C-alpha cells in the first residue's frame, strides 16, 4: 500500500486518479483550492485519508499546502495534477505576487511543492502535448515584454513542467521523476468536445505513482497512455533545466535542494 498526495484533486483527472488509487487500497490525500471545493471532494471520495487546502496561484497558499502535507508525514508519491488553461484571457493576468497566473499554477507551484514537501519515492508531473508549442527562451518567462497569448503561455507552462520533471530526475537519482501527457480529454478544463479517452487520461499517473511494473520504475521520461514518448528535445538541455530551476528559486525565494538522496546521511 502506498500513500499518494494529488494536487488539484477535487474534480477531473485528479479526482479520477484519487478514486482509482483508493479502490486499489492505497491511502490518498486530496487537495482543494478552498473549503467549498474541499467539501465537494470529501463527498466524492469519503475514503480519502485526508484533504489539504490552499490556493496554488499565490506563493503563501502553495507554502500552506506544503506545510499541511508535511504534517501528515512522508508520502510514497506526489502527483502534481493541478493545472489551469485560460485561453479566454485577453491580457496578462497577475497573481497577488505579481506573477502570471498560468505560470504560477502550472509551473511555479509544482516547483515550490517539490522543494518544500519531504521527498517521496515517486514524482509525477502533468504536462501536455502542447508543450511542443512552448519556447525554451526563458528570458521573458513572466510575459512582461511579449504580446500576451494565452495559448502560448499555456504551452510554455507545460514545457516548464517537463523541464522541472527532468531536472529533478537528474538531481535526485534515487527518486522516480516523470512527466505525463494525459491527452486532450473532456474534463472541465478540456471541454466537452475534447477527442481523447477520459478513462485513459488518469491511468498513466496512477501507474507511475504506485505500480511495481519495471516499466514504471524509470526517471526523466515522458509518457502518454502508459507508453514513453519523445518530448521536445529542448527539455533534455541541462543548462535550460538549470536556468528554469534558478528562475523559480529567484521568483519564489525558495531553493530546491539538489543533493542526491542516495547519499544523504553519508
Tracing cell 478514486 back to the chain, one arrives at 19
Handedness of CA 259, 74, 2, 34 (dihedral sign): negative
| Interatomic CA distance for residues 136 and 10, integer angstroms | 32
Q: Considering 85, 125, 158, 171, which one is annotated as catalytic?
A: 158
Do residues 43 and 96 lie in contact, with contact meaning Cβ atoms separated by under 8 Å? Answer: no
Cβ of 207: how many Cβ atoms within 10 Å?
Answer: 19
User: Beta partners for 180?
Assistant: 126, 223
Kindly list the strands in the beta sheet with 222-224, ordered across the sheet, starting from the edge strand earlier in the chain: 50-53, 27-32, 3-6, 77-80, 122-126, 176-180, 222-224, 227-228
Q: Are 178 and 218 in contact (CB under 8 A)?
A: yes
Contact between 222 and 181 under an 8 Å Cβ cutoff? The reply is: yes
Angle at 206 between CA 56 and CA 102, to 5 degrees: 25
Give bridge partners of residue 27 from the DSSP assignment: 3
Residue of 85, 101, 111, 154 with catalytic role: 154
- Antiparallel, parallel or unpaired: β 222-224 and 227-228: antiparallel
Q: Indicate if 125 belongs to the active site.
A: no
Cell of 250: 529567484
The answer to whether residues 17 and 26 touch, using CB atoms and an 8 Å cutoff, is: no
Query: Can you read off the three cell numbers belonging to residue 106?
Result: 502550472
Confirm whether 158 is a catalytic residue: yes
**Active-site residue numbers?**
154, 158
Amino acid at each position: 500500500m502506498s500513500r499518494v498526495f494529488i494536487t488539484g484533486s477535487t474534480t477531473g483527472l485528479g479526482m479520477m486518479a484519487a478514486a482509482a488509487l483508493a479502490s486499489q487500497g492505497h491511502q490518498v490525500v486530496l487537495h482543494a483550492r478552498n473549503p467549498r471545493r474541499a467539501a465537494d471532494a470529501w463527498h466524492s471520495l469519503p475514503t480519502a485519508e485526508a484533504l489539504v487546502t490552499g490556493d496554488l496561484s499565490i506563493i503563501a497558499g502553495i507554502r500552506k499546502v506544503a506545510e499541511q502535507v508535511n504534517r501528515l508525514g512522508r508520502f510514497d508519491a506526489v502527483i502534481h495534477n493541478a493545472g489551469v488553461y485560460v485561453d479566454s484571457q485577453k491580457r496578462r493576468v497577475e497573481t497577488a505576487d505579481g506573477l502570471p497566473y498560468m505560470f504560477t499554477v502550472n509551473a511555479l507551484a509544482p516547483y515550490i511543492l517539490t522543494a518544500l514537501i519531504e521527498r517521496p519515492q515517486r514524482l509525477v508531473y502533468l504536462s501536455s502535448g502542447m508543450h511542443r508549442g512552448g519556447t525554451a527562451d526563458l528570458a521573458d518567462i513572466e510575459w512582461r515584454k511579449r504580446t500576451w497569448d494565452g495559448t502560448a503561455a499555456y504551452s510554455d507552462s507545460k514545457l516548464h513542467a517537463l523541464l522541472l520533471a527532468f531536472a529533478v530526475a537528474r538531481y535526485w537519482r534515487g527518486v522516480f521523476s516523470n512527466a505525463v501527457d494525459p491527452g486532450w480529454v473532456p474534463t472541465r478544463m478540456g471541454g466537452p468536445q475534447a477527442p481523447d479517452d477520459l478513462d485513459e487520461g488518469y491511468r498513466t499517473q496512477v501507474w507511475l505513482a504506485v505500480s511495481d511494473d519495471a516499466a514504471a520504475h524509470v526517471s526523466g521520461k515522458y509518457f502518454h497512455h502508459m507508453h514513453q514518448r519523445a518530448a521536445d528535445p529542448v527539455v533534455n538541455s541541462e543548462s535550460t533545466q538549470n536556468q528554469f530551476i534558478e528562475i523559480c528559486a529567484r521568483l519564489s525565494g525558495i531553493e530546491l535542494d539538489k543533493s542526491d538522496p542516495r547519499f544523504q546521511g553519508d
